[in-house]
Amino acid sequence: MAALSITGNAASGATALAAMTAAQLAGAIPVARLGRGSNPIAYFKILIVIRTMALFCCAAACGAGAHYSVFIAAAVASGLVQGAAFGHLRDAANYLVAPTQMTRVLAFGSFANDLTFLVMPILAATLGTASASLAIVAIAVLGALPALILPSAPTAVVRIEEAETRKRAIAPEVFIWLACACATSAAISAIEVGAVSLAIEFGLRPGYGAMFTGTLCAASLIGAIGNGFLNRTFSRHQVAGMLAAILAGTALALQNSLALSIVGCALVGLFAPSLGIHYSLQINRLVMPEMRAETFSVLKISTSVGTILASSMLGWTSVSLTMTAAIWLLLFVIGMISVQDLIVGQRLSTARTRRVPD
């Protein structure tokens, strides 16, 4: 709608979206690294102020009928800090939440994220019918709420002078969880972005694509609520089982039965929050404190890459091929987890053997 109000061509909105996404991918690590050693809560609030001001500039560009390049520049500025803001917000949770409650809080965050995914497009479309600028302002204000309600934590500063003495190598296991996040995101996005194509393949009108996305989102909300009540972590075997469930759900979504496809979407949505929480907890455990914000930003990049891969394949090929590719990605990461478990098991067995006296 914003692009339409400036250029008169709705298709040009894809340019702004692509520019914002590219800026998010490019800026996540450098911008997050700039905040290394600072208070993550304070730095997060600074990033949110920058994003909010950039979105206000987007709204002003729409209202004033400015050149489209001005709107693009403001959108890029907004995207540039998005990934880093996510990383520092997740890092800030370590200073605000007791470790025993972290799973519950992350589940609440997942629930809020899914609810936002459902409500925000409806709100933007409703306000956008009156004014594109008004819709952008509303999104900017709502997006700034976390910075307003987040409490301060004066002690939330990593002492870099001590941390510098530690070994800086990132554990290989971190890359496994980043790959898992990418594969999971690709499977979810294949359904979300390909929902209309799925509806058409079943001979339904495009609007019925909402059945697939609605089922996935509803199941995801239920999964997040379940995690909040359970408030527990999962073993690697359970995680592999949940990845297998998402793989099975993606495969069911490809079947010629509408009922099976709906069940498949529900399976994918149900286990997605548990996996997202697990990836976050494992990265938090494996990464040094001074590098957590950057690595959480990379986690955000990984999920974005999964979405981009799925969206690109849907544009170039078909929903069937896209979901098949997502299945192969899931098989690959399940294999990675299995191989690492085998290696770790062999090392433990060797260590026990060496301890046994002759």
Taking phi over 0 as left and psi of -120 to 50 as alpha, with beta for the rest, 203 belongs to left
Segments in the chain below pLDDT 70: 1-14, 153-169, 344-358
Predicted confidence at residue 148, as pLDDT, reads: 86
- The model's pTM is 0.88
Mark whether 256 and 287 lie in a shared domain: yes
Cα distance between residue 79 and residue 338, in whole Å? 36
Note the pLDDT of residue 165: 36
**Domain annotation covers residue 318:** yes
Cβ distance 243 to 334 under 8 Å?
yes
Cβ-based neighbours of 268, under 8 Å, separated by 6 or more: 187, 188, 191, 216, 219, 246, 249, 250, 253
Please check whether residue 222 lies inside any domain of the structure. yes
Task: Express each pLDDT in 64-86 by its tens digit.
Answer: 878 888 888 999 999 999 999 99
Query: What CATH number does the domain containing 233 carry?
Result: 1.20.1250.20
- Asked whether residue 204 falls in the same domain as residue 118, the answer is no
Residue 282 maps to a domain: yes
**Exposure class string for 77-108: b at 16+ Cβ within 10 A, else e:** bbbbbbbbbbbbbbbbbbbeeeeeebbbbbbe
Residues 176 and 125 in one domain: no
Q: Is 325 found in the same domain as 200?
A: yes
Report the C-alpha dihedral over residues 222, 225, 229, 231, rounded to 10 degrees.
110
Examine the domain organization and report whether 101 and 69 are in the same domain. yes
Give a yes or no: residue 93 inside a domain. Answer: yes
Say how many Å lie between the first and final Cα of the chain, rounded.
Answer: 77
- 186 with 141, same domain? no
Strands (E), the chain: none
Q: Does residue 202 sit in the same domain as residue 128?
A: no
Residue 43 pLDDT: 93
How many domains is the chain partitioned into structurally? 2
Q: Which residues of 50-69 are buried (b: 16+ CB within 10 A; e: fewer)?
A: bbbebbbbbbbbbbeebebe
Residues 112 and 190 in one domain: no
Last residue within a domain, chosen from 115, 150, 185: 150
93 within 8 A of 102, measured Cβ to Cβ: yes
Residue 79's domain comprises 2-150
In a domain? residue 108? yes
- pLDDT (0 to 100) of residue 163: 46
- The pLDDT assigned to 178 comes to 96
Question: Which residue, 248, 279, 278, 241, is CA-closest to 266?
Answer: 248
Given this model, what pLDDT does residue 175 score?
94
Coil, helix or strand for 180? helix
